[in-house]
Structure 1
Amino acid sequence: MIRSISIVVLFFLSLIFCAFTASDDEVKEATINFSSDSYLKIKGKTNVNTFNCAFNIDAFSDAIKVNFKEYDSSIKFSKAMLRLSNIEFDCGGKAINKDFNKLLNTEEHPQIVLNLKEITKIEEDVNSMTATVEITICKISKTYKIPVSVDHEKGLYVSGLMPININDFNLKAPKKMLGMIKVSPRIQIEFSLKITEV
């Protein structure tokens, strides 16, 4: 369930495509915030039902600074890390929250770290981009390419849906009732982030 994490975060950076147009080789810096209108959810299922874990967007209380270089059709980042606290996910009850934190080994690894590497424009669709993101969970790092869409009509919203396999991070979902209830290792991270520049 984890990576939900967020991953989501990464998309905040598509803001830069919209806010900056220079094409020189200079390293630039931007500072952004997430509006409370944003959301990030981890969706999963067991052999008997589904579950939904929502991240507390208010946990992003501080502005986030990122360093980047712009190219013709992409932006590459050298300092764009987001740290997500595991305890900020709410799965709807104490028992399932406890299972979620046990899955992530929160006592030893309390955070999920997202490192945005690059954002690439998709030429055919000005509202679509691909984000390359490195995610670290329990000291295991994996890199993903994530399709994202951008909506400018009511502010800057970046949204997407990302499938993830928790086995990629050597995570083992807990079993309940003598193993009769099993959690699928495949989860989805759904997000819609409203981004503002500071």
Structure 2
Amino acid sequence: MKLLKLFIFTVWLLITAFEEKELASKWVIYKTCSLKVNGSTNVNKFNCVINNYYKPDTLSFVQNNQQDPVKMMGAMKLDINSFDCHNPMMTADLRKTLKAKQFPNLIIKFINLSKYPQLKGQHITGWVQIDLAGVSKKFQVAYQLIPSGTNTLQLKGLKQIKFSDFNIEPPRKIGGMITTEDKLDIEFNLHIKTINAL
């Protein structure tokens, strides 16, 4: 019996000795963030923004080792009725196109990053899930990290998506004479501050 207990204890020691420890850190969204959408019609270009988004959420980062992608947990939940296209008619059209009455929120869920964010200028990539108009899609996003103070960063994400990715038909006006292109360039900005770093 003693030999069996000794054997089990030895196996446990070996397992824990070689087990990869998860390293975790937390960052907080600490001030106003924004989302910008740039698009084009066959007549001109337009941009729509959600400014002054602020919800003090915590972003968590977990990494098994430095060679693995960094798991990221957290999300931006944006009210589609807060979009401003600097033109009342265009603003109303966009909200209607994005089915704001039925699906009032655009949600960006963070999945991972290619590297752990450093407190210096850096370009990295990562995956997000975008929930829009009742459809969820995963995209790889290019990030730019910009130092903005002590233990703080601006995390700028850039991605081109399509209305058709979410089964949405681009808006049309005047019998189809003015048509909106399918492609949209999305830029979101998060201001984050470390609570504890890796």
Deviations for 1:18-77, whole angstroms, at most 9, x for unmatched residues? xxxxx8326x462512434x5431000000011110112x232x3102344223143113
Give, as a single letter, the amino acid of the residue that structure 1 aligns with 2:50: F
Q: Relative contact order (alpha carbons < 8 A, sep ≥ 6): 1 or 2 greater? A: 1
Residue in structure 2 matched with residue 20 of structure 1 by the alignment: none
2:129 to 122, 128, 134: 134
User: 4+ residue runs of structure 1 moved beyond 4 angstroms?
Assistant: none
Residue in structure 1 matched with residue 11 of structure 2 by the alignment: none
Q: Is the 8 A contact 2:27 2:192 kept in 1?
A: no
Q: Is the 8 A contact 2:34 2:53 kept in 1?
A: no
1:121 to 115, 118, 123: 115
Corresponding position: 1:163 with 2:157 = no
Displacement of 1:90 in angstroms is 0.7
Displacement of 1:153 in angstroms is 6.0
Structure 2: runs of 5 or more not aligned? 1-19
The residue correspondences of 1:37-76 to structure 2 (distance < 5 A) are 38-56=33-51, 58-60=52-54, 62-70=55-63, 71-73=65-67, 74-76=69-71
Return the TM-score normalized by structure 2.
0.75
Q: Is the 8 A contact 2:107 2:132 kept in 1?
A: yes
The residue correspondences of 1:1-198 to structure 2 (distance < 5 A) are 24-25=21-22, 28=24, 30-36=26-32, 38-56=33-51, 58-60=52-54, 62-70=55-63, 71-73=65-67, 74-77=69-72, 79-121=73-115, 127-152=122-147, 155-197=152-194
Structure number, greater radius of gyration: 2
Task: Call closer, same or farther: CA 1:103–1:92 in 2, change over 3 Å.
Answer: same
Task: Call closer, same or farther: CA 1:168–1:100 in 2, change over 3 Å.
Answer: same
Q: Secondary structure at the match of 2:173?
A: coil
Give, as a single letter, the amino acid of the residue that structure 1 aligns with 2:184: I
Q: Secondary structure at the match of 1:69?
A: strand
Whole-angstrom CA distance in 2 between matches of 1:153 and 1:106: 34
Task: Call closer, same or farther: CA 1:35–1:66 in 2, change over 3 Å.
Answer: closer
Residue in structure 2 matched with residue 9 of structure 1 by the alignment: none
| Number of aligned residue pairs | 169
Give, as a single letter, the amino acid of the residue that structure 1 aligns with 2:167: N
**CA RMSD of superposed structures (Å):** 2.5
Give, as a single letter, the amino acid of the residue that structure 2 aligns with 1:175: R
Whole-angstrom CA distance in 1 between matches of 2:26 and 2:46: 36
Q: Secondary structure at the match of 1:87?
A: helix
Q: Secondary structure at the match of 1:90?
A: coil
Task: Call closer, same or farther: CA 1:35–1:65 in 2, change over 3 Å.
Answer: closer
Whole-angstrom CA distance in 2 between matches of 1:173 and 1:182: 7
The share of aligned pairs that are identical, in percent, is 26
Structure 1: runs of 5 or more not aligned? 1-22
Whole-angstrom CA distance in 2 between matches of 1:135 and 1:180: 30
Higher percent of residues as strand: 2
Task: Call closer, same or farther: CA 1:158–1:141 in 2, change over 3 Å.
Answer: same
